Structure 1
Amino acid sequence: MTPFEITILGSNSAVPTPTRHPTSQLLNINHHYYLIDCGEGAQIQMRKFGIKFQRIEHIFISHLHGDHYFGLIGLLNTMHLLGREKPLTIHANRMLREIINLQLSVSNTKLKYEIHYNYLEDEQETVILKDHNVEVTATPVDHRIPCFGFVFKETEKPLNIKKESLAAFKLGVEEIKLLKQGKDVERQGETIHAVDATETPLALRKYSFITDTKPKTAYYEAIKDSDLLYHESTFMGDAAVRAADTFHTTNLQAAEIALKTKCKKLVLGHFSTRYTQLEPIKVEAQTVFKNTELAIEGTTFKIEH
């Protein structure tokens, strides 16, 4: 089975602590690596958890509050020092390019690899990437500055070849390609029918990442039916006024969103430093949405078929 995994690198809010880092997550989808946000210390976390960050192809930055991108210049520089040559694409607010270019300029650093920027500026839900059978959608959320959530969804898969067909017909590479496209294969004296040699692929998987926002129905449709929803929960239920004032969400509100959008599992993160114990955050949320977990750093959430 091809992997669809999310590893939590950082799950705290603005102020890092000795045991909790700002937001960052590494996605491994069908052996392709995607980084969501890059808070301070993200590259150290990747080393700690044995993640080969040179394999990252795309980086998605939700918004330009420092706890979501202050680790980026360090990561880019380390990639350079380790000899990266493969281009990298960063999906972010257009101002990030100016920030990165300034940081590189004042240190007289010329990267050995190209950075391509895809600017996030649409005020509507927008597909920003179609690559390797994965579609990524950016959906605006409601924060103090422009901010986006991201939805990662597998796209239509080719048909699967039945194991017994592989053995019975001793299929070649080109024959397999044709059958997976639903086309029959003609051989001397026989026809291998795609309908007999193939089976329907497994269900498509979906992951939604929503950070730094007031609850907003506008993104509900985008995240609907997610196998896994990560939703910020900076505060607990008794701090709902504080959450609203700072354009954040409580754990109870996040749980209600997961319930309303029919998500299968909820992961809470972006915890305020005021909370030294995280378990009560989960327990309270589970009174609304039972299948709730915490974004504990180093945890990998696997989405199975």
Structure 2
Amino acid sequence: MEKFELHILGCGSALPTTRHFPTSQIVNVRDKLFMIDCGEGAQLQFRKSRLKFSRLNHIFISHLHGDHCFGLLGLISTLNLLGRTAELHIHSPKGLETLFAPMLSYFNHQMTYKLIFHEFETKEPTVIYEDRSMTVTTIPLRHRMPCCGFLFAEKARPNHIIRDMIDFYQVPVYELNRIKNGADYVTPEGEVISNTLLTSPSDPSRKYAYCSDTIFLPSIIEQIKGVDLLFHEATFANEDAPRAKETYHTTAEQAAQIARDAAVKKLLIGHFSARYEDETILLQEASAIFPDTQLAKETLCVSI
């Protein structure tokens, strides 16, 4: 199968600790790198994960709280120092370009590459990126400011040609693309050869959903139904549920309820509050409801 990986660069929340970096992730799809959020230290963790800056062309910012975007200016500056020439696209809710304009003007007034900001609305799911192999769609979340998660979805791939059958029926090369896409083959004599004899199904399309930061929000379940991997914030343990509600965050138990009800294949929890020196309690509370749960940690790589 083609590469589809998630790299955790940071999985802490707003208050710095010696255990975790603020939120940042890299999604690697066929060696194209997509960054989700860019907290402080993201570029350092990028290096530690042995990823290549040259393959990063799109950054998705979920919302404009500092622990999700304070690392962005440093990363932009580093890419400038490296002499980057390729465009860098930054997708975010409204306001990021205005916020960064004076800092970019002061620190990076001679840019070696073009920086392009794309604003998106946060109230309805919207496709904000698309190429030949995948789409990125926003997932409306509810936080203390406009906020979205992101759904990375592979496009359906053509069927696999069964070479022996193609040779047996002497199918011309110019017919192969049609057959890959589901067409039957009609011989010169008029015999119809079923597509099922000539091809085998392609691998199922894979999906990754990122949901941070948000209050417990069952309305996202339909959009993330059946994803292969769900990252959901689990800032608090159940004993701190009132604090979670007050700050528009989620408990580990609530994250697991979302995963269970959405019938996802695997749950990864993160965005841990600094109050927990050991996140085992969060893993235990989530696993009791959704057994296939894993704690995020820096430099973790999960194959989807």
- Whether TM exceeds 0.5 here: the answer is yes
Q: Partner letter of residue 77 of structure 2?
A: N
Q: Distance in 2 between matches of 1:259 and 1:164?
A: 43
1:172-223 alpha-carbon deviations (Å, 9 max, x no partner):
9866545433457899999996824322211111111000110112222111
CA distance in 2, matches of 1:15, 1:231: 19
- Worse-matched range after superposition: 108-117 or 234-243: 108-117
Paired residue for 2:68?
A: 68
Q: Secondary structure at the match of 2:104?
A: helix
- 2:122/2:146 contact within 8 Å kept: no
Q: Which residue of 1 aligns with 2:268?
A: 267
Q: Is the 8 A contact 1:127 1:135 kept in 2?
A: yes
Residue identity in the other structure for 2:37? D
Instruction: Flag structure 1 segments of 5+ consecutive residues without an equivalent.
Output: none
Instruction: Give the 5 Å matches for 1:1-305.
Output: 1-162=1-162, 164=164, 176-182=176-182, 195=195, 196-303=197-304
- Using the alignment, how far apart are the partners of 1:162 and 1:202 within structure 2? 14
Query: 2:291 and 2:97 mapped to 1: Cα distance?
Result: 41
SS in structure 2 opposite 1:34?
A: strand
SS at match of 2:28: strand
Q: Deviations over 1:219-267 (max 9, x none)?
A: 2211111111100010001100000001000000101111111111111
Task: Please give the alpha-carbon distance, in whole angstroms, between the structure 2 residues aligned to 1:102 and 1:172.
Answer: 60
CA distance change for structure 1 residues 88 and 171 in 2, over 3 Å: closer, same or farther? farther
- Relative to structure 2, which stretch is displaced further, 270-279 or 80-89? 80-89
Change (3 A) 1:111 1:167: farther
1:295/1:189 CA distance change after superposition, 3 Å: same
Checking the alignment, whether the CA contact within 8 Å between 2:158 and 2:181 is kept in structure 1 is yes
Query: Which digits, 9 at most, give the CA deviation of each residue in 1:51-70, with x for residues without a partner?
Result: 11220121100000000011
Q: Is residue 237–residue 251 contact of structure 1 (8 Å, CA) maintained in 2?
A: yes
Residue 162 of structure 1 and its aligned partner are, at CA, apart by 2.8
Q: Which amino acid aligns with 2:198?
A: A
| Partner Cα distance (2:11, 2:173) in 1 | 44
Matched residues in 2 for 1:302 and 1:100: separation?
Answer: 34
Residues of 1 paired with 2:173 and 2:103: CA distance? Answer: 48
Tell me the SS of whatever aligns to 2:278.
coil
Unpaired segments ≥5 residues, structure 2? none
Cα 1:27–1:108 change in 2 (3 A) is closer
Greater alpha carbon shift after TM alignment, 185-194 vs 254-263 = 185-194
Instruction: Give the superposed CA RMSD.
Output: 2.5
Listed one character per residue, the Cα deviations across residues 90-144 of structure 1 (whole Å, up to 9, x for unaligned) are: 1102211122221111125232222222212241111212213211110211100
Q: 1:29 to 1:169 in 2, by over 3 A?
A: farther
Distance in 1, Cα, partners of 2:190 & 2:50: 50
CA separation of 1:70/1:287 partners in 2, compared to 1, >3 Å: closer, same or farther?
A: same
SS in 1 for 2:143: coil
**Secondary structure of the residue that 2:62 maps to in structure 1?**
coil
Per the alignment, do residues 197 and 48 of structure 1 end up closer, same or farther by CA in structure 2, a change over 3 Å counting?
same
Identity %: 42
Mapped contact 2:185–2:194 kept (Cα < 8 A): yes
Letter in 1 for 2:58: H
Q: Structure 2: how far apart are the matches of 1:292 and 1:14?
A: 23
